[in-house]
Amino acid sequence: MRSVVILVFIFFCSWSFSQENKPSDPRVGLVLSGGGAKGLAHVGVLKILDSLGVRVDYVAGTSMGAVVGGLYASGYSGKQLDSIIRSTKFDLLISDEIPRESKTFYERKNGEKYALALPFDNFKINLPSSISRGQNVFNLVSKLTLGVSGIEDFSKLPIPFYCIATDMETGKEVVLEHGNLAQAIAASSALPTLFQPVILDHKLLMDGGIVNNFPITGLASKNIDIIIGVDVQDDLLEIEELESVSNILNQISNFRAAEEMSEKSVLADIYIKPDVADYSIVSFKDGITIIDKGEATASLYFKELQAIAKAQRFSRAPVNTPDFKELKINDIRISGLEKYTSSYVKGKLRFRSGESISFNDFSEGVNNLVATNNFDSFLYKFQPSDQGFDLSAKVIEAKNTAFVKFGVHFDQLYMSSALVNLTKKQLFLKNDVLSIDFILGDNIRYNFDYYIDKGFYWSVGLNSKYIGFNSFSSPADFITDDIYPEVDRIRLSFSEFTHQFFIESLIKKDFAQKIGLELKHLKITTNENGFLNAFDTEEYTFEDSDFYSFFGALKFDTIDNKFFPKSGFLFEGGVQYYFASSDYNNNFNGFSIFKSQISKAFRIGDKLAMNIGVQGGFKVGDSTTKALRFGLGGYGLNYFNNYTTFYGYDYFSLSGNSFVKSSSTLDFEFLKNHHFNFSANFANIADDIFLNKTWAESPSYSGYAIGYGLETVFGPIELKYNWAGDSSYSGFIVSVGYWF
């Protein structure tokens, strides 16, 4: 019946044109409902409308309907939107994952060991307001709408537009048809719990679907003749489907929406409901299939839509949607600041007024700022000016300055560990942070950090940590003479207190320099009977000394992922001069340790990556203090002193006052976050290999590992089988969780 009415209307328009000799042109309004990922079906419908030549004269949308509708209204075709969706990595977009390279070195170190962080206020643990800030989504929408950023009256867009948001203070509907388009879309699509609310015009706004998920009634005042409605909401479930708690809760929340839709759907002249019941609001991985569902359903209305297109006398000229490769930012205005200064924000953004930068560089600058976690929101808009743009940004400073963080880990050196961290920002200064790690488990540890972040200026830091564990090693590595019994390897107890004061600064974005003073207390003992009997004692102490030193270091790091790198370059180099000691063994003379490493990660294909590296070090001076020699063996990312990983040999199996090591890892990500990898390493390690020129000879030691890795929310899970080149040693390596 509805189809008949539309066809009669179109016939009347045609008859009117022939009788009066003036255009009679049906105006079409388009309503797009919310529905999360299911709203991608809207794109399929738009592709059909475009292919038939239907001219849309007004667009109304809510939530995902506002995203798709707003972009369509700004000039994108359905086909262009399809391409955008195909190239978008929604998991990274929605999770608000900040690229590693956007973080400072301090933020990288701290962000790569905690699985969970919760606000901690007035000695109470709170829950975060949302899973994601929505910053990455906002950055993308801002980029896509840059061509219409100067239009603040949405009726002046290439296609007039409005969208719906919910005022979280009053629970009332807010119609957004003026202002900045990207901000309006962000407010309308701020799904509760997933994205945080958006503050516009002193109102706290969230997803419009809460109050009006199908904003059809507003089109009545827009001089619209035909309304096309696209609905991707869930229908009410049948009784046999109401077996789970989640389905029952969804059913309760859908009662009102379903009742409203039964009333609103009849207001649409063409009501299109794509078959997306099998998908959820977060099924973005099925985006292409969902688009196809929308296209297939819209095709069922081919005759009606084609008739509308034929009746429309005028078509809208295609809109140029420029892809801005560069942005010239003429002026930067920051509002909302109380604790922080405008110069601090601009320094983190890392671009200045008058500069021309790519939008990727702009987004990276925004990520740099967001990565500090000092701001809950960074909402901005571009205003065209003088062959460029003025940038106006409103920030909301983070109210929470204290956090409690958690982590878990297992490896074969430190064994089972549980981490509880307390972090307090702005303790004494606006840019300081205090962090204390308490590590419980088989080996109790702690780590204390106090850091004053001054970016490119000299930052100041204090660090204190304790490490303790048991491991097997050769007594010859720690005794300076040959009085030890003929025992190959014994179980040793290591304990170490290290205290550092340092200053560091950024030379460039990813290049830092650091100098400092260190006090280290190192104690190494054993209580193994087979060894103790030779000395007639209950415990033998190899080392129990304080060591005082100066150190300096350079670090350049663009590695994209610490655990499974696919791109980037790493250089670390440093020198440490030990000038004094309490000298337990009465054998100390000043000495220096030089060490460095270089590695490069690169893609070989879409799923295959290679990481190659060279590492080395040598000791200059006193050869009698053995406790701080270089050691190779085992697998770990949080070794202490001068020990490092070497596949094929047990922990601390190889030692010397100098070494050189090469390594390579081939990593295949066969499924998302699932890795298969193969590693090989080669080394020469002994005393004075650089002096006697044996470092470049054929490697004395080689080892290999093959394994599986999985990226999880609490860190990587790794299972490897490793073996030595001479087959004298082999075994499994297990690591669970972030290293700390």
DSSP states of 600-612 as a string?
EEEESSSSEEEEE
Report if pTM > 0.85.
no
- Other Cβ atoms closer than 10 A to 461: 19
Q: Nearest-CA neighbor of 194 among 250, 131, 137?
A: 131
And the tokens for 738?
């972030």
Q: Give the rounded percent of residues in the chain with a pLDDT score beyond 90.
A: 59
CA distance 588 to 586: 6
CA distance 397 to 575: 40
Q: Nearest-CA neighbor of 522 among 591, 441, 585?
A: 585
The more confident residue out of 477 and 76 is 76
* Region of residue 173 (phi > 0: left; psi between -120 and 50: alpha; otherwise: beta): beta
CA distance 393 to 378: 7
- Other Cβ atoms closer than 10 A to 172: 11
* Strands (E) located in 267-387: 270-272, 327-335, 356-357, 375-385
Calculate the CA 653 to chain-centre distance. Answer: 37
Report the run of H or E that residue 733 belongs to, with start and end: strand 730-736
Q: Is the pLDDT of residue 736 over 90?
A: yes
Query: Read out DSSP for 441-454?
Result: ESS-EEEEEEEE--
CA distance 367 to 103: 8
CA distance 95 to 194: 9
Mapped onto helix, strand or coil, the DSSP state of residue 633 is coil
Q: Nearest-CA neighbor of 257 among 206, 207, 211, 193?
A: 211
Q: Which residues contact 299 (CB under 8 A, 6 or more apart)?
A: 48
**pLDDT value, residue 194:** 81
Q: Nearest-CA neighbor of 554 among 529, 574, 525, 536?
A: 574
Q: How many CA atoms lie within 13 A of 29 on its CB side?
A: 23
And the tokens for 647?
């596949």
Q: Over the stretch 187-211, which tens digit does the pLDDT of each residue have?
A: 999 988 788 899 998 899 999 999 9
Confidence of residue 23 (pLDDT cuts 50, 70, 90): very low
Mapped onto helix, strand or coil, the DSSP state of residue 136 is helix
CA distances from residue 88 to 93, 141, 603 in whole angstroms, order as listed = 8, 12, 20
Cβ atoms of 740 and 444 within 8 Å: the answer is no
Q: Over the stretch 481-514, which tens digit does the pLDDT of each residue have?
A: 555 566 677 888 999 999 999 999 988 778 899 9
Q: Which residues contact 321 (CB under 8 A, 6 or more apart)?
A: 74, 75, 76, 80, 144, 147
DSSP percent split of the chain into helix, strand, coil, nearest 5: 25, 40, 35
And the tokens for 93?
């977009």
Mapped onto helix, strand or coil, the DSSP state of residue 156 is helix
522-543: b or e for each residue (b if 16 or more CB lie within 10 Å)?
Answer: bbbebebeebbeeeeeeebebb
CA distance 442 to 271: 64
Mean pLDDT of the region 624-642 = 87
Calculate the CA 637 to chain-centre distance. Answer: 21
Calculate the CA 618 to chain-centre distance. Answer: 37
The more confident residue out of 467 and 317 is 467
CA distance 136 to 127: 22
R_g of the chain, CA atoms, integer Å: 32
Cβ atoms of 653 and 619 within 8 Å: the answer is no
Largest CA distance in the chain: 120
Q: Nearest-CA neighbor of 612 among 526, 682, 672?
A: 682
Query: Read out DSSP for 444-501?
Result: -EEEEEEEE--TTS-EEEEEEEEEEEEEEE-GGGT-SSS-S-S-S-EEEEEEEEEEEE
Q: Nearest-CA neighbor of 230 among 31, 46, 63?
A: 31
Q: Is the pLDDT of residue 182 over 50?
A: yes
**pLDDT value, residue 241:** 64
CA distance 49 to 7: 17
Compute the residue count for the chain: 740
Q: Is the pLDDT of residue 50 over 60?
A: yes
Cβ atoms of 305 and 54 within 8 Å: the answer is yes
CA distance 51 to 47: 6
Q: Over the stretch 693-703, which tens digit does the pLDDT of each residue have?
A: 888 899 999 99
Mean pLDDT of the region 545-551 = 97
CA distances from residue 90 to 78, 275, 650 in whole angstroms, order as listed = 19, 22, 42
**pLDDT value, residue 485:** 60
Mean pLDDT of the region 456-468 = 91
**pLDDT value, residue 319:** 84
**pLDDT value, residue 516:** 98
Query: Read out DSSP for 626-645?
Result: -TTSEEE-B--SS--TTEE-
Cβ atoms of 268 and 31 within 8 Å: the answer is yes
Q: Tokens 């299972």 correspond to what residue? A: 719
Task: Give burial (CB, 10 Å; 0-12/13-18/19+) of 45.
Answer: buried
* Strands (E) located in 161-258: 161-167, 173-176, 198-200, 203-207, 226-230
Q: Over the stretch 568-601, which tens digit does the pLDDT of each residue have?
A: 999 999 999 999 999 998 889 999 999 999 999 9
Q: Over the stretch 327-373, which tens digit does the pLDDT of each residue have?
A: 899 999 999 998 888 888 888 887 888 888 888 889 888 988 888 88
Q: Is the pLDDT of residue 326 over 80?
A: yes
